[in-house]
Amino acid sequence: MDKRFWQTRWQEGKIAFHESVPNRHLVRHFMALSLSSGSRVFVPFCGKTADLDWLLSQGYGVSGIELNQDAVGEVFERLALTPDVARFRGLTRFSGKGIVIWVGDFFELSALDLGSVDAVYDRAALVALPAQMRTKYVRHLQSLCPSVPQLLVSYDYDQGKMEGPPFSLPEEHVRSLYKDIYEIENLASVDIYGPLAERCSGREESWILRPIGQS
């Protein structure tokens, strides 16, 4: 699963993972992170999600990273913002009022690039990666923003009946990846809905991950 795969998906419009309205788990459960107004939220693999608009509307700052530049351009167009654009170490930064999105490879983003964030919202990153890449993702995410809480959205379905992405991420995998870093709480488990429900049946789950010793 490389950069070309995702760029091709965007070019061909195969973006069933995109939701035109804010994700229901985000809206229902984000307050569980107990963030103060003005806190900054990092959204990895953000695409052009309407979740960014929702976070801004709630008074949070937003940082993201996305491989496809056209998707990022659509975000700023939708927000009626003209971005400041700058290049840094092979990445491109689009910034506007309350929002910064980096265009490029997540694994090339550094903590210096990202700056300080107060929480992570992961709806489309971990589930976009096959099992063999997940540990690498978690380690890099921790290097970018250690010791911050996280709202994670995942899917649990029979992987043998459908090719990812999004990939199935059952509870035991969530706990195996994060057990040494976070206290893990399942907030909700509901039937898969939307376009994905046309391809498979299973559960869509949300988790709050609190740094050990900080809850």
Cα of first residue to Cα of last residue in the chain, in angstroms, is 36
What's the confidence (pLDDT) of residue 163?
A: 83
Q: What is the pTM assigned to this prediction? A: 0.91
The total number of structural domains that make up the chain: 1
Q: Along the 215 residues of the chain, how does pLDDT read in single tens digits?
A: 566 655 565 555 555 555 678 999 999 999 999 999 999 999 999 999 999 999 999 999 999 999 999 999 999 999 999 999 999 888 999 999 999 999 999 999 999 999 999 999 999 999 999 999 999 999 999 999 999 999 999 999 999 888 888 999 999 999 999 999 999 999 999 999 888 888 889 999 999 999 998 75
- C-alpha torsion angle, residues 150, 206, 2, 136 (rounded to 10): 50
What's the confidence (pLDDT) of residue 173?
A: 96
Give the structural domain span for 28.
3-211
What's the confidence (pLDDT) of residue 199?
A: 85
What's the confidence (pLDDT) of residue 94?
A: 98
Binding site for S-adenosyl-L-methionine, by residue number, is 10, 66, 123
DSSP notation for 152-202: EEEEEE-GGGS--SSPP--HHHHHHHHTTTEEEEEEEEEE--GGGGGT--E
Q: What are phi and psi of 120, to 5 degrees?
A: -120, 135
Binding site, by residue number, is 10, 66, 123
Tokens of 85: 């654009």
Is 63 strand, coil or helix? strand
Cα–Cα dist 116/133, whole Å? 25
CATH number of the domain within which 91 lies: 3.40.50.150
What's the confidence (pLDDT) of residue 156?
A: 95
What residues pair up with 204 in beta bridges, in sequence order? 155, 190
